[in-house]
Structure 1
Amino acid sequence: MSQQRCQVRDSRYVVPASRTGTMKTMIPFRLSLAALMLLSTAAGAATQHYQATLESSRWQVEAAHDHCALVHEIPRFGRARFEQRSGRRLQFILQADLAPVDGREARIVSVPPQWKYGSSERELGQVRLVQGKTPLRMPRQQALRLYYELEQGMAPAFLYQDWADGRDRMEVRLSPVRFREALPDFVACTRKLVYLDFEPVGEKTVYFTTDSARLSRATRRVLEKLARDYRSGSRLRIVLGGHADARGDEDYNLALSKRRATRVARYLVSRGVPRKAIESRFFGETFPADPDDDPEAWARNRRVTVWLAEK
């Protein structure tokens, strides 16, 4: 922590002639006492640092069929995650082992490494930390800013007052050490996820029997509710994603996924949703919801995902 200085101006008293010399000696004493009190208060403030050491810093890839994450452990604090889920955009998540009990405003600065002589800290903005074990989620644009800073060897840091009485400053810093080493595996993982060029605000999934695009009674109930909600005044658009399981010919599965998405779209139109509000996409056997090769996995993969998005 940088040394804090307290300056006390020299105040000159004009003491009436009737006062004794005792008063003159008390005034400097009072000023000195005030200065000591200020100095003791400043000395009581501290900065608590949370950062992985050079030796312990790691960025590890967490790969699953429905999400990819780049995870960084922050000793004594928690962890940081760059996470992308299937059909979702990249986000940054800060997790705390000890859940904060109230909210805090935090500054974000990007700290240069020691070998970057002449470089200075960069202000990246402010965020609101909230209660709970996930005090911060940052959307794609802000997450990419942190991602790029780390890629350049910078160390983004979150600065805020402590969760207790606010006397101490907290600094939670992300280490760039070994960040770039993990990127190839992380990027390769994200290529296997469903990519959407929009941010869904809602999502439903309906399922089909083997080699069929017929709508079951359960599927019709889900679609009826979607159509009813839309007719009540929704300003959203509907994007459909058709899928098939991995059995059979690849081209046949692509055509089957298209038939399923088309059947869902027609049903929604028949229930009052404007055709222009619906967009259909189809993915065949790619992007499975479950990568296993068994009847349960096949059943989860025979589906149409219904995404709701802003127009």
Structure 2
Amino acid sequence: MAAILRVSTYLSLLLYPVFGVAQYAGLAGEPWTSTSDTEKCAISQRLDHNGGVAKFQQLAGKRLRFTVEQHPLVSINSNAKIYSAPPVWRHDQALSPIGEAQRQRGNQPFRVSADVAEKMLEQLTQGQSNLISYLDPGLKNNEEILTLSPTFLYPALNDFRDCVQNLSPF
């Protein structure tokens, strides 16, 4: 009887990896989409939690723009801080500050300077997420963090780059 118990224990140890349970994490973030015409090019991502839309836009003869159209409306003016976050598997790396911008009360889209927009897009193309952190008194913890994910960026980014190359310089 002891021999049978030993054999079944060995078999269960050998077969454990074969019949083990695997867990997979889903990819975070909505797919990026691109839009273009003869005067402007854009890539955008819908924000999961609040239905807002983050958009990088290049107009002919202008510098890159970044806006976030948010829902619900912004309740107070507040300062937003923008960070670059490493991929989750690079947990040994810290957040890197990219810049700051002012959020305006009401339904005005949130905008950043062209320099910050260019840094944000550069970080996304390098596989880093963009985090936009600001205070919102309507929330329990008073802090809101919007995340722009580089997941699913490249098909839209390639279309965006092709469009930008074809824009008039003025």
Whether the TM-score (by the shorter chain) exceeds 0.5 is yes
The superposition leaves residues 244-284 of structure 1 with CA deviations (integer Å, 9 ceiling, x where unpaired) of xxxxxxxxxxxxxxxxxxxxxxxxxxxxxxxxxxxxxxxxx
Output the CA distance in 1 between the equivalents of 2:92 and 2:41: 36
Name 2:49's counterpart in structure 1.
Answer: 76
Unmatched tracts of structure 2, length 5 or more: 1-25
TM-score (normalizing by structure 1): 0.43
Name 1:66's counterpart in structure 2.
Answer: 39
Task: Check conservation: 1:101, 1:131, Cα contact below 8 A.
Answer: yes
Percent of aligned positions that are identical: 26
Output the CA distance in 1 between the equivalents of 2:56 and 2:165: 15
Task: Check conservation: 1:102, 1:130, Cα contact below 8 A.
Answer: yes
- Relative to its length, the structure with more helix (as a share) is 1
Output the CA distance in 1 between the equivalents of 2:95 and 2:169: 34
Q: How many residues align?
A: 144
Output the CA distance in 2 between the equivalents of 1:120 and 1:98: 31
Match of 1:126 among 88, 100, 103: 100
Inter-CA distance 181–131: structure 2 relative to 1 (3 Å threshold): same
Q: Which amino acid aligns with 1:61?
A: S
Q: Which amino acid aligns with 1:190?
A: V
Q: CA shift at 1:97, angstroms? A: 2.1
Output the CA distance in 2 between the equivalents of 1:106 and 1:56: 21
The superposition leaves residues 6-39 of structure 1 with CA deviations (integer Å, 9 ceiling, x where unpaired) of xxxxxxxxxxxxxxxxxxxxxxxxxxxxxxxxxx
Name 1:91's counterpart in structure 2.
Answer: 65
TM-score (normalizing by structure 2): 0.75
Q: CA shift at 1:135, angstroms? A: 3.7
